[in-house]
Structure 1
Amino acid sequence: MITRMGRVIRTRVKDERGSQMIEFILVFPLVWILIVFSFDQFSMMYNKQKALAAAYEAGRIAAVQPNFGLAKFHSKQRGTAELAQGIGVLHKDVQLELDGNGWRKGSHVKAEATVSFRLLATGELYEITESYHMMVENAEEKQ
């Protein structure tokens, strides 16, 4: 009887039929967390790159406009078009700020792009702001 029980226990210990299923059940949540984390990181980095590209485009377009009104209009148009290519964008905005010298050749303008979106894992709102400084190259001379 004891030897028969020993044989049964030994065969059950050596039997590996359910081990792969148990490994899968234990490892799958870790793999899922890794996948969700990588989606969050990718969306943050991609939207950060889009915000930087939008600020760069807005600043570049603004620097060659003859007056501040046109610069504001065209930079907002180009910047928001760039931000619209982001992942899951909820809010996008592009602003121009002048330094204290006004709109004239040689003064500086700062383009600021802001994008907000929700993260996949937590669902919380995440906002990225990037800025780019340019020198005004083509301002009209006042008569």
Structure 2
Amino acid sequence: MKRNWFGLIRNERGTQILELILALPLLWFVFIFSFDQFSILYNRQKVLAAAYEAGRIAAVQPNFGLANYHAAEMGQAELKQGIGMTDSRVRLYVQGGWKKGNHFEAEATMKFHLLATGKPFELKESYHLMIENAEKGGSQ
């Protein structure tokens, strides 16, 4: 019995299932990748907002103690809205003491697990501001 290979190639039976088998892993990878990217982008926005809010409230405080307290409160409130957060931190860094006109940095850090793969991930953002309101002779 002689086979007609040209006839088999032209036969389109089963091509849809073959296309599904070839395309499904690629589509699944894109689907999973999009969940991880969404969680990174969303949490990055939350970390940046936390650093901004912490710095904004700290800039108008009369001393470093109040600035540090309010910055942590505002920053943590923003970070709590993150997805899959396992750990977070808000810090202020100031050089030259808490004096009007000096500059400081508000830094926010968040650790979380990616939505699809579950791998740990860490984001860190900072915001630089000038101290607008400080007691005379204030220090750190």
TM-score (normalised: structure 1): 0.85
Give structure 2 stretches of 5+ with no counterpart.
none
CA shift for structure 1 position 142 = 4.4
- Bigger Cα Rg: 1
Instruction: Work out the CA distance in 2 between the residues paired with 1:24 and 1:74.
Output: 55
CA shift for structure 1 position 65 = 0.8
TM-score (normalised: structure 2): 0.87
Q: Please identify which structure carries the higher helix content.
A: 1
Residue 36 (str. 1) matches residue 32 (str. 2): yes
Residue matched to 1:125: 120
Give structure 1 stretches of 5+ with no counterpart.
none
Q: CA RMSD in A?
A: 2.2
Alignment of 1:1-143 (within 5 A): 10=7, 14-99=10-95, 101-142=96-137
CA shift for structure 1 position 47 = 1.2
Cα shift readout 1:50-80 (whole Å, capped 9, x = no counterpart): 1111101100100001111111111101101
**Equivalent AA in structure 1 for residue 111 of structure 2:** S
SS of the residue aligned with 1:103? Answer: coil
Identity of aligned residues (%): 57
CA shift for structure 1 position 15 = 4.4
Cα shift readout 1:87-108 (whole Å, capped 9, x = no counterpart): 2111111011111x11111111
CA shift for structure 1 position 123 = 2.7
Cα shift readout 1:20-73 (whole Å, capped 9, x = no counterpart): 112111111100101111211221122111111110110010000111111111
How many pairs are equivalent?
A: 138
